[in-house]
Structure 1
């Protein structure tokens, strides 16, 4: 997620409410793609540095867990155990270590 400021008015895809040009809003990849598709330019005003590979639901996290070194996997296991401790994420991470 990033915070952006668009140069044109657009309608929020979820709330269906209009967003005025210049308003700072949060944007995920899907919103950024839609803005590009509709030729609406935007400026990134803030990147969320707290975003982690472990953010999101289990299936989103599992999709991102590719091409990791065993050391990275071990660190992610510890982060997940001290964080949400989701069974599906932990099982997948442990299966990556077993490979």
Structure 2
């Protein structure tokens, strides 16, 4: 899959939204660009995919995943109310069955 940001009108806007979101959550903007992520949280299999709706999570309703970042120690899954417009991202542990699929170059 070629890199995109949901609802961005063009590649320039996608880059701007991605960069601003990375800055907001403190993630590296130049790291690998993740398309899909699978991980386990408290014994439950979790999945996030950019452009797809992520199930309701704690106090956040089901929302479209805007970006996923690899911070080195954890993954950050960003939705409008979890890391893009407000709030902190959904944190996904690395290792122990987590796997990421990158966007194509």
Which of the two has higher C-alpha Rg? Answer: 1
Measured against the shorter chain, the TM-score band is under 0.3
TM-score, structure 2 length as denominator? 0.23
TM-score, structure 1 length as denominator? 0.24
